[in-house]
């Protein structure tokens, strides 16, 4: 359907007003809310992710594309009931660990995961292990995504994993970590399930972890 292609391109181009207007127009014409994600929003953000990996897009382009996706999804989510209801790809508790106030990378990952069909519980920055444990329990999350931009706060990722284990929740969730100083080796050394070097990698990893 040409309209879905038009919406997909508007998202890739970061044209939030166009994305919003197209979504409203298509709904008025009888397009079902459940069709938008698989036919336009998710493919659009997958293409944004590909361009980021290939260094065709950088953080500003990714941010405006994610905002365009949100302009559409914010209209659609309240309408996704009954047969149109989307089963979330997973429920992700995300946040920047205690002592760290950096959030740009975390925000991009959260927006791209949301556009890929995940339900996001964003705890923000400077997040304690206790807060993450409580969020996992309250929301029955199956994924935790933590970030750190400072070598001095990386150690708090290990504390979160230990807290989840102590609370008896570790087997319920897969844990992914990321951030400038974080490496795959570090992720494995603290008992995380995976490492995402950038937002597109984080989306791919999240899909793999929930499918495992």
The pLDDT of residue 77 is 85
H or E stretch at 54: none
- Predicted confidence (pLDDT) at residue 177 exceeds the cutoff of 70: yes
**Rounded to an integer, what distance in angstroms lies between the CA atom of residue 124 and that of residue 101?**
9
Task: Provide the whole-model pTM.
Answer: 0.85
Give 52-91 pLDDT, tens digit per residue.
999 999 989 999 999 999 999 999 988 887 655 566 789 9
> Over the stretch 149-161, which tens digit does the pLDDT of each residue have?
999 999 999 999 9
- The CA-to-CA distance between both ends of the chain, in Å, stands at 33
Strand residue runs (E) in the chain: 91-96, 119-122, 143-147, 174-178, 194-195
Q: How many residues does the chain have?
A: 212
Average pLDDT for 125-147: 97
Q: How many angstroms separate the CA atoms of 85 and 186, rounded?
A: 38
């Amino acid at each position: 359907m040409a309209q879905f292609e038009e919406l997909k391109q508007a998202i890739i181009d970061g044209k939030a007003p166009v994305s919003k207007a197209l979504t409203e127009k298509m709904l008025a014409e009888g397009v079902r809310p459940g069709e938008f994600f698989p036919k336009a929003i998710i493919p659009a953000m997958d293409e944004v992710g590909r361009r980021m990996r290939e260094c065709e897009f950088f953080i500003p382009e990714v941010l405006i594309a994610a905002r365009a996706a949100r302009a559409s999804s914010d209209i659609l989510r309240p309408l996704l009931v009954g047969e149109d209801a989307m089963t979330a790809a997973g429920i992700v508790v995300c946040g920047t660990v205690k002592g760290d106030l950096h959030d740009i990378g975390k925000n991009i990952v959260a927006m791209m995961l949301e556009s890929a069909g995940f339900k996001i519980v964003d705890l923000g920055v400077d997040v304690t292990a206790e807060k993450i444990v409580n969020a996992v329990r309250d929301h029955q999350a199956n994924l935790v995504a933590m970030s750190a931009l400072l070598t001095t706060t990386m150690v708090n990722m290990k504390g979160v994993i230990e807290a989840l284990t102590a609370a008896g929740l570790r087997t319920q969730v897969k844990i992914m970590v990321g951030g400038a100083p974080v490496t795959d080796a570090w992720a494995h050394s603290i008992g995380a399930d995976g490492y995402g070097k950038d937002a597109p990698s984080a989306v791919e990893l999240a899909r793999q972890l929930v499918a495992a």
